[in-house]
């Protein structure tokens, strides 16, 4: 009887997780879409291209900070209230893009980052309640796969729409309204008993106790830094700068530049579940993590130094597949910390991951973004900008040697040794 109830209970969380994927899909559509409408948004907000990139970058300020709030809210109040609030805030952020002022643009982007911060931790939280430990990495990989499908759509689909004359106000109006509709759907789909269980838990920790546990664990920091360094080439380069770099440095037309840029997100669609599956299959996290990072480096070397060997869109697709490894630390951090801080662990790694992005983005903009219009040697400029990301990925591989293996094989070995 209890087993049947538990199974039924789990089924509702799986259904809620599937619906939460819609929220995460929209997260990435909205995160990546500005890259294909830079001239139009610059005109709408009355700023230069660099000024617009700075506005777009504010997304990561609130995203990283609110990741902590999202994790705390999930552990404290459950997924129902947390995901509704996040999706609703994201919708409001989209609607603010309808106002033609720099202040509205900045405020809208800040709200977009704040709302999106709830999407991935919420989906992981629901997945951890709906799936067994042996398939959790696969579920997390599929979650990120669906998100990156949104990132790909934000460029593959929105780019042609812009070419065919769609007004940016039309895009942001419907994005905002549909996201708010998803928020209402999440309210009704997520099981209500989740919040009740948390409220009735006499042993629930104090408000900041989960983060004290997570942040006092060095493994949490290693996970976040590695994920951030692997994630940065997609969030900063592919989703923000790549179209401009391909057009200015390599003389691609807008369509070709957009397709090449979007291939990274499409690569994630395949890379995240595939790498997640193999890390579950072999019962180890670190080998697949390093393999993905090495694929990223190989793809960048091909793109920068052997552009005639394979097309840029293939190199970018390879980079997307490899960067799916950035999600493996999300499994490791949950396995390296106690079960009762699931939401906070995901919030913490999101905070560190996008904290890295927030720090790296202005550095890349200062070193290579500002010289995009002025440099005389375009090819060298492109190679130097790409090598910047190779260095970051190599650092991530080095830090991975500090990680403790948390896969099922290592757990089983530890149990045998303790007998």
| 74-78, 252-256, 316-320, 328-332: least confident range | 74-78
Give the pLDDT band of residue 12 (cuts 50, 70, 90). confident
pLDDT in tens, 230-243: 989 988 888 788 88
Predicted TM-score (pTM) of the model is 0.76
Bigger pLDDT: 45 or 15?
45
Residue the block writes with tokens 């045998």: 416
The separation between CA 32 and the C-alpha centre of its own chain, rounded to angstroms, equals: 11
pLDDT in tens, 152-163: 787 778 888 888
Give the pLDDT band of residue 414 (cuts 50, 70, 90). very low
Please report which residue ranges of 233-340 form alpha helices under DSSP H: 242-250, 254-282, 286-305, 312-323, 328-335
Which pLDDT belongs to residue 349?
A: 87
Q: What is the mean pLDDT of residues 245-266?
A: 88
Bigger pLDDT: 173 or 348?
173
CB of 348 within 8 A of CB of 71? Answer: yes
Q: What is the mean pLDDT of residues 292-316?
A: 94
Give the pLDDT band of residue 87 (cuts 50, 70, 90). very high
pLDDT at 216 over 80: yes
Tokens coding 255 = 């369509």
Q: What is the mean pLDDT of residues 26-31?
A: 90
Which pLDDT belongs to residue 386?
A: 93
pLDDT in tens, 321-337: 999 898 889 888 888 88
Which pLDDT belongs to residue 419?
A: 46
**Terminal-residue alpha carbon distance, the chain:** 33
Buried b (16+ CB within 10 A) or exposed e, 87-100: bbbbbbbbbbbebe
pLDDT at 194 over 80: no
Give the pLDDT band of residue 192 (cuts 50, 70, 90). confident
Which pLDDT belongs to residue 259?
A: 87
Give the pLDDT band of residue 109 (cuts 50, 70, 90). very high
Which pLDDT belongs to residue 3?
A: 42
pLDDT in tens, 110-144: 999 999 999 988 888 888 777 766 666 677 777 87
Distance CA 50, CA 280 (A): 42
Residues 6+ apart with CB under 8 A from 26: 87, 90, 119, 150, 175, 178, 179, 182
Question: Which homologous superfamily does the CATH classification assign to the domain defined by 2-198+206-408?
Answer: MFS general substrate transporter like domains (1.20.1250.20)
Domains in the chain: boundaries: 2-198+206-408
Distance CA 140, CA 133 (A): 11
pLDDT at 400 over 90: yes
Torsion angle (degrees, nearest 10) of CA 169, 175, 180, 186: 180
Q: What is the mean pLDDT of residues 348-367?
A: 86
CA atoms within 13 A on the CB side of 175: 31
Distance CA 43, CA 236 (A): 22
């Amino acid at each position: 009887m209890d087993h049947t109830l538990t199974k039924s209970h789990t089924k509702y969380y799986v259904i809620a997780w599937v619906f939460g994927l819609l929220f995460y899909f929209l997260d990435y559509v909205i995160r990546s879409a500005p890259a294909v409408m830079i001239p139009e948004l610059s005109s709408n907000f009355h700023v230069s291209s660099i000024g617009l990139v700075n506005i777009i970058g504010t997304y990561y300020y609130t995203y990283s900070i609110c990741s902590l709030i999202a994790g705390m809210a999930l552990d404290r109040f459950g997924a129902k209230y947390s995901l509704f609030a996040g999706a609703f805030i994201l919708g409001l952020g989209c609607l603010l893009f309808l106002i033609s002022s720099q202040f509205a643009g900045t405020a809208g982007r800040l709200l977009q980052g704040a709302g999106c911060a709830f999407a991935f931790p919420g989906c992981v939280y629901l997945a951890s309640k709906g799936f067994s430990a042996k398939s959790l990495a696969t579920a997390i990989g599929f979650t990120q796969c669906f998100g990156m499908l949104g990132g790909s759509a934000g460029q593959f689909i929105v780019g042609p729409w812009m070419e065919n004359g769609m007004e940016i106000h039309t895009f942001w109006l419907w994005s905002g309204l549909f996201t708010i509709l998803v928020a209402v759907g999440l309210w009704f789909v997520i099981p209500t008993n989740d919040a009740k269980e948390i409220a009735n838990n006499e042993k629930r920790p104090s408000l900041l106790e989960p983060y004290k546990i997570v942040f006092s664990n060095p493994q949490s920091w290693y996970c976040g830094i590695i994920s951030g360094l692997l994630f940065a080439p997609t969030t900063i380069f592919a989703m923000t700068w790549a179209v401009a770099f391909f057009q200015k440095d390599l003389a691609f037309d807008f369509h070709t530049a957009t397709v090449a840029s979007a291939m990274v997100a499409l690569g994630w669609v395949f890379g995240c579940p595939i790498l997640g599956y193999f890390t579950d299959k072999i019962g180890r996290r670190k080998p697949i993590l390093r393999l993905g990072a090495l694929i990223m480096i190989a793809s960048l070397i091909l793109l920068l130094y052997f552009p005639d060997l394979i097309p840029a869109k293939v190199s970018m697709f390879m980079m997307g597949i490899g960067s799916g490894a950035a999600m493996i630390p999300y499994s490791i951090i949950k396995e390296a910390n106690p079960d009762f801080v699931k939401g906070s662990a995901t919030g913490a790694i999101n905070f560190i991951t996008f904290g890295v992005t927030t720090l790296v983005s202005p550095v890349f903009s200062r070193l290579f973004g500002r010289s995009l219009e002025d440099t005389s040697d375009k090819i060298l400029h492109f190679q130097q900008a790409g090598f910047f990301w190779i260095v970051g990925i190599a650092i991530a591989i080095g830090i991975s040697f500090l990680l403790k293996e948390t896969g099922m094989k290592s757990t089983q070995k530890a149990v045998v040794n303790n007998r």
